[in-house]
Amino acid sequence: MKILVLVHNGPDGKIAKAALEAVGAAQSLGGEISAVNPVGDVPLHSLDVPALATAIKSSGADIVIAPGTSRFARSLPAAAFRAGAEIDTHITAVSNGPEGVTAQRWAYRQRILCTITRSARPWVLMTDCGVFAPAEEGSFTVENAAPVQATASSECLGTQAAVAGEQTIRPDAEVLFVAGAGWTKKQADGATHPGEAAALIKDFLAASGASLGSSKSLVEIGDEAKEAFGFMSHMNQVGQTGATPRHKKGLSTCCHGEEPHVVGWRFITERRAVNIDANCGWAQGKADVLYVADAFKVMSLVNGMLKP
């Protein structure tokens, strides 16, 4: 079996971590592996698609594995189409057994786990980031493919942060801290305290290094609270119409734990929640521990204890 692994460099010019994971996935299948970087520095669909399609076609590979980075997620499906290959995305496991090569992926946003196979070749498998053990440096070499001529009506203008200030989305953090709309709701004193809530959250992120997630309701809040919560955006949203981050631990605060939110927690191993409502969603087998308490008080104490 010939396996082609498609990789690209990260912004630092080195091979992206997710690409090392894709090589790791390929190595777990066995076979003859070649790793190729067919794309240049400019991440544009109209340039990447012909380069990727040429790499697939010219490799003669049976299986093509590539990391599900935003760059390949954009362009690889069209490249597979042009190369006459089949493609499946968000792959979370691969194996080579009696059924041949099989792969796992989720349907219905992490609700139903599917094990699939295909007889058509080449078969492109795009791996989810943060799932596979990365290949060891030195266990493979990357060949840079010759550039493929293509024209584009588009131009890449560079990157920009979704919100001003410090980056709160930290995929490599051990802890995910999720803030829900409860932070902006009327509290026991009959008033809202968005400024205090935002300060508590920001202090926790600074002291713990955690990544910040949010419920949909919090990123869609009204104007008054929006000002205080200007450090978060839709990009922080976890769930059905948000992200499915991978962190070892997740702490949910002031968030009800409704199903469309909790489907985004599928890959969070240890889960704890702080909510004043003992019957919230987290109590229904969705968290390991639910602390029935006021998150304002608890997080203020946590922040005090985390301070050096």
Partner 1 sequence: MKPLNIIVCGSIVPDPLQTLEPVETPQGPALKNEQMLPAVLDPWAACALYEAAHLAASTPGSQVTLVSAGPAPKLRQLMMSVAQKAPFALVAVNAPAGGFADARATAAELAKAIKAIPGLDMSNVLLFGGCSSAARDAGVTMQFLAEELGISEFFQAVDELKFSEDGSFTVLERIEGGSYLKSSCKTLPAAIGWATGSLPEPPNNPRTGMMNMPKIMAALAKAQPAAPAAGGAKYLKTEIPSSKRDTRIVKDMPEEEIAREIVQWIRG
Distance CA 19, CA 66 (A): 7
Decide: helix, strand or coil at residue 127. Answer: strand
Q: What's the distance, Cα to Cα, between the start and end of the chain in Å?
A: 55
- Asked if residue 88 lies in contact with residue 150, where contact means CB atoms within 8 angstroms, the answer is no
Q: How far is the CB of 224 from ligand FAD (least distance, A)?
A: 16
Count the neighbouring beta carbons within 10 Å of the beta carbon of residue 181: 18
Distance CA 89, CA 77 (A): 9
- Does 153 sit near partner 1 (CB under 8 A)? yes
Nearer to partner 1, 20 or 169 (CB): 169
Q: How far is the CB of 134 from ligand FAD (least distance, A)?
A: 29
Dihedral sign from CA coordinates of 245, 251, 255, 258: positive
For partner 1, the binding residues in 89-108 under the rule CB under 8 A are 89-90, 99, 102, 106-108
- Does 266 sit near partner 1 (CB under 8 A)? yes
- Asked if residue 16 lies in contact with residue 69, where contact means CB atoms within 8 angstroms, the answer is yes
Nearer to partner 1, 219 or 228 (CB): 219
Interacting span for partner 1 (CB under 8 A) from 26-34, 43-51, 55-63, 181-189? 43-51
Look at residue 217 and give the partner it binds from partner 1, ligand FAD, none, a contact being a CB closer than 5 to 8 Å depending on partner kind: ligand FAD
Distance CA 57, CA 304 (A): 59
Q: How far is the CB of 198 from ligand FAD (least distance, A)?
A: 14
* Greatest CA separation for the chain: 69
Distance CA 307, CA 87 (A): 48
Q: How far is the CB of 94 from ligand FAD (least distance, A)?
A: 28
Distance CA 285, CA 264 (A): 15
For partner 1, the binding residues in 155-184 under the rule CB under 8 A are 155-163, 167-171, 175
Q: How far is the CB of 56 from ligand FAD (least distance, A)?
A: 33
What is the pattern of x (binds ligand FAD, CB under 6 A) and - over residues 170-209? ----------xxx--x-x----------------------
Of 7, 295, 302, 303, the one binding ligand FAD (CB under 6 A) is 295
What is the pattern of x (binds partner 1, CB under 8 A) and - over residues 208-227? x-x---------x-------
Count of alpha carbons within 13 Å of 247, Cβ hemisphere only?
27
Report the interface residues with ligand FAD, using CB under 6 A: 180-182, 185, 187, 215-218, 237-242, 254-256, 258, 260-261, 274-277, 280, 294-296
